[in-house]
């Protein structure tokens, strides 16, 4: 399905956006989207993809200005309109589905009223509850007639996102802009939302722009893909073409960074950090990170040229590069199992959480073991209790029953009552890199702390070792005196890894360490973890919801559902022949670049 020969629902021509200070944010972006077509806009943080998406609504974040270009939505020019006429278009002609539905819905407004609000703004005359019900039915929330009376906090994350979609589609606009609508939702919910969007596209012929950092998510539903980097479109073409035959090295790198649950492959992150606004190089903006760069790349910005029917690429060397083959090599190379007792043995642990006056069970009768040098993945949806298990092993949560044996010795419940040696040998890395480093401590002092406390090094020795650790996690030494707020998400997570490694642990607990990161950064962090595990003979407990990640780096997998393990086994076994229904559903829902058509209910 292409936009050629059809009247476009969205037509963007040479859109250029600037900061107040004159630095370009978006440079010369053009695309068309036909009715009933989904355009996936893909890029890393800072690529300008959200800025473009918001510009479609005639909205620019404070400090951003339009320099030139034209945006036509359903035949109407957006550029140059005043606030009032833009407001009359929003919701009626073009609507927006935000990333974080919990933050986007007014917590003091019933969801039915939120839908009525949009209707009242755009429809003259009385609006009835029937249209609210119809809007909720459209997103499959219509079964309960009283659903509209609920407040956002009474809904699950998936239901909240459906409500925002219902709000966005209630006036039947021809165009919708979706900004990472499934980020933060677990795979099963994500799958349902994607199906919903595909149905809306097919049945209502809505033209959609879907913004995301994860190529695999849009691969299943987008008709065309626009790859953005540093404010420019680097590649633009039909989904199959872009994914099967990427012409730009950046696109190829993005494809290689996506972990795939059904086709495990060695992951390759993209070296370096994506360029920020105001640091754009003179030539091709991706050249500093490109594996194929030559001197000519740095001379001038390449033009967007035809690389096939309906396929544009911004690379001077595209004709000379063969990017289609995927990186080969075994996905996993694990250390041979050491004979004897496992390093960690968890048997029959129960854990509860206190909420108000009642205690909620979070984990019920969970037992497993981790052999030395092995990477065991713990998989499940949010709320399945997988993080609680990690916290129990790290001594942050005291289990109410069961025992944990580490190297043959029983571990006390709380970290403070364990021996120094036990505390040193077990380290945990947390999910959110923006919260895992103390914002008031420099990188150096964050890493020094475990050296001093757990290994009792002198100040001088500790300082020397900080340099080695930074090198180990591939961070430049100049970052040692920075504060966390001056680092990117990927850099922070590397510092957190360095902090854990400082203790010279035997067991590393990684609690969703990559879920807040871009896919390309995720691949780089996983690559690093995998290499460290091999070099340092680390055992790992990898807690994640992403089966692709599991397939690429774990040896064994534990699948968790509602507080108990429902399936365990080696990765090959579980992922190729899942026995439990829940595992099958998880696997089915995992987004994949290769099996794009597999998106099924």
Partner 1 sequence: MTHRLRFLRTTSGAAGCVIVLFVLLVAVLGPYVAPHASTQPIGAPFSGPSGGAPLGTDFLGRDVLSRLLFGGRSVIGLAAAATALAYLVGLTIGLVAGYSRTIADPLLMRTVDVMLAFPPLLFLLVLIAGAGSSVGVLVLGVAIIQAPSISRIVRTATLEVAVRGYVEAAVARGERAAAVISREVLPNILAPVLVDAGLRFTYSILIIASVNFLGLGLQPPDSDWARMIGENRAYISLNSLAVVAPAAMIAILTIGVNLTGDAIARSLGRSYVPRTIRSVST
The DSSP element (H or E) to which 42 belongs, if any, is strand 38-42
From the list 112, 489, 490, 548, which residue makes contact with partner 1 (rule: CB under 8 A)? 489
* 180/241 with CB nearer partner 1: 180
* 125/439 with CB nearer partner 1: 439
Beta-bridged to residue 379, according to DSSP, are: 544, 559
Q: Does 446 bind partner 1 (CB under 8 A)?
A: yes
Q: Does 485 bind partner 1 (CB under 8 A)?
A: yes
Strand positions, DSSP E, 59-216: 64-73, 76-77, 94-97, 175-179, 207-212
* 280/483 with CB nearer partner 1: 483
- Ranges within 420-439 binding partner 1 (CB under 8 A): 420, 423, 426-428, 430-432, 434-439
Q: Does 122 bind partner 1 (CB under 8 A)?
A: no
* 74/495 with CB nearer partner 1: 495
From the list 13, 100, 117, 595, which residue makes contact with partner 1 (rule: CB under 8 A)? 100
Where residue 178 falls (left for φ over 0; alpha for ψ -120 to 50; beta otherwise) is beta
Closest CA to 95 of 183, 170, 190, 15: 170
- Ranges within 182-221 binding partner 1 (CB under 8 A): 183, 211-213
From the list 90, 138, 224, 418, which residue makes contact with partner 1 (rule: CB under 8 A)? 418
- Ranges within 505-534 binding partner 1 (CB under 8 A): 516-518
CA atoms within a 13 Å half-sphere pointing along the CA-CB vector of 574 = 28
- Taking the C-alpha atoms of residue 317 and residue 98, their distance in angstroms, rounded to an integer, is 37
Closest CA to 209 of 194, 187, 193, 226: 226
Write down the least CB distance from residue 57 to partner 1, Å.
16
Write down the least CB distance from residue 531 to partner 1, Å.
23
Asked if residues 313 and 248 have their Cβ atoms less than 8 Å apart, the reply is yes
Asked if residues 394 and 368 have their Cβ atoms less than 8 Å apart, the reply is no
Q: Does 453 bind partner 1 (CB under 8 A)?
A: yes
Q: Does 62 bind partner 1 (CB under 8 A)?
A: no
Write down the least CB distance from residue 119 to partner 1, Å.
29
Asked if residues 473 and 528 have their Cβ atoms less than 8 Å apart, the reply is yes
Q: Does 164 bind partner 1 (CB under 8 A)?
A: no
- Taking the C-alpha atoms of residue 498 and residue 500, their distance in angstroms, rounded to an integer, is 5
From the list 10, 32, 37, 50, which residue makes contact with partner 1 (rule: CB under 8 A)? 50
What tokens does 513 get? 């360490």
Give Cα separations from 244 to 248, 252, 286, 324, 595 (angstroms): 12, 9, 21, 7, 12
Stretch that binds partner 1, among 262-270, 297-305, 357-365, 417-425 (CB under 8 A): 417-425
From the list 36, 40, 46, 264, which residue makes contact with partner 1 (rule: CB under 8 A)? 46
Write down the least CB distance from residue 502 to partner 1, Å.
10
From the list 109, 396, 479, 566, which residue makes contact with partner 1 (rule: CB under 8 A)? 396
Q: Does 454 bind partner 1 (CB under 8 A)?
A: yes
Q: How many CB atoms lie within 10 A of CB 85?
A: 12
Write down the least CB distance from residue 7 to partner 1, Å.
30
Coil, strand or helix: which one is 356? coil
Strand positions, DSSP E, 384-521: 401-406, 409-410, 426-429, 507-511
Residue with tokens 């499959």: 140
Write down the least CB distance from residue 297 to partner 1, Å.
26
* 123/440 with CB nearer partner 1: 440
Q: Does 400 bind partner 1 (CB under 8 A)?
A: no
Asked if residues 469 and 503 have their Cβ atoms less than 8 Å apart, the reply is no
Applying CB under 8 A, the residues found at the interface with partner 1 are: 45-46, 49-50, 99-100, 179-180, 183, 211-213, 394-396, 415-416, 418, 420, 423, 426-428, 430-432, 434-441, 446, 449-450, 453-454, 483-485, 489, 496, 499, 503, 516-518
């Amino acid at each position: 399905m292409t936009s050629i020969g059809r009247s476009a629902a969205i037509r963007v021509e040479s859109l250029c956006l600037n900061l107040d200070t004159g630095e370009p944010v978006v440079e010369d972006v053009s695309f068309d989207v036909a009715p009933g077509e989904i355009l996936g806009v893909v890029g890393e943080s800072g690529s300008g993809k959200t800025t473009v998406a918001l510009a479609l609504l005639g909205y620019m974040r404070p400090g951003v200005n339009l320099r030139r270009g034209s945006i036509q939505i359903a035949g109407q020019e957006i550029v140059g309109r005043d606030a009032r006429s833009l407001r009359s278009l929003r919701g009626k002609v073009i609507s927006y589905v935000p990333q974080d539905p919990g933050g986007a819905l007014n917590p003091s407004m019933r969801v039915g009223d939120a839908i009525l609000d949009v209707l009242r703004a755009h429809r003259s005359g009385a609006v009835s509850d029937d249209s609210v019900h119809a809007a909720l039915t459209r997103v499959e929330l219509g079964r309960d007639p009283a659903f509209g009376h609920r407040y956002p906090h009474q809904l699950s994350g998936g239901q909240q996102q459906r409500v925002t979609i219902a709000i966005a589609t209630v006036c039947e606009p021809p165009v919708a802009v979706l900004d990472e609508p499934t980020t933060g939702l677990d795979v099963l919910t994500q799958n349902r939302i994607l199906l919903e969007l595909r149905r809306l596209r097919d049945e209502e012929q809505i033209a959609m722009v879907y913004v995301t950092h994860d190529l695999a998510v849009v691969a299943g539903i987008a008709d065309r893909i626009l790859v953005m980097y540093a404010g420019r479109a680097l590649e633009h073409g039909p989904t199959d073409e872009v994914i099967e035959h990427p012409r730009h090295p950046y696109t190829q790198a993005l494809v290689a960074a996506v972990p795939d649950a059904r086709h495990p492959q060695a992951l390759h992150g993209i070296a370096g950090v994506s360029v920020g606004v105001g640091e754009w190089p003179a030539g091709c903006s991706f050249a500093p990170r490109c594996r194929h760069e030559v001197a000519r790349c740095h001379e001038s910005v390449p033009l967007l040229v035809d690389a096939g029917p309906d396929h544009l690429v911004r690379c001077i060397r595209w004709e000379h590069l063969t990017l289609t083959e995927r990186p080969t090599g075994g996905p996993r190379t694990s250390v041979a199992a050491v004979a004897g007792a496992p390093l960690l043995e968890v048997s029959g642990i129960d854990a509860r959480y206190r909420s108000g006056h009642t205690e909620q069970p979070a984990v019920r009768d969970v037992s497993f073991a981790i052999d030395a040098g092995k990477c065991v993945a713990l998989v499940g949806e949010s709320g399945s209790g997988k993080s609680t298990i990690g916290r129990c092993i790290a001594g942050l949560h005291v289990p109410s029953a069961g025992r944990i044996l580490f190297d043959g010795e029983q571990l006390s419940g709380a970290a403070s009552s364990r021996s120094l040696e036990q505390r040193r040998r077990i380290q945990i890395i947390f999910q959110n890199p923006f919260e895992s480093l103390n914002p008031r401590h420099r990188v150096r002092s964050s890493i020094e702390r475990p050296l001093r406390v757990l290994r009792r090094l002198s100040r001088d020795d500790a300082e020397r070792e900080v340099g080695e650790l930074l090198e180990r996690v591939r961070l430049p030494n100049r970052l040692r005196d920075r504060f966390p707020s001056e680092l990117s998400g990927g850099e922070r997570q590397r510092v957190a890894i360095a902090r854990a490694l400082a203790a010279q642990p035997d067991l590393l607990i990684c609690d969703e360490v990559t879920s807040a990161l871009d896919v390309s950064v995720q691949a780089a962090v996983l690559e690093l973890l995998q290499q460290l595990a091999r070099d340092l003979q680390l055992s790992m407990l990898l807690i994640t919801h992403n089966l692709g990640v599991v397939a690429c780096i774990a040896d064994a997998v534990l699948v968790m559902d509602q507080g108990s393990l429902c399936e365990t086994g080696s990765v090959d076994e579980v992922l190729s022949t899942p026995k439990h229904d829940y595992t099958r559903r998880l696997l089915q829902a995992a987004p994949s670049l290769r099996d794009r058509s597999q998106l099924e209910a």
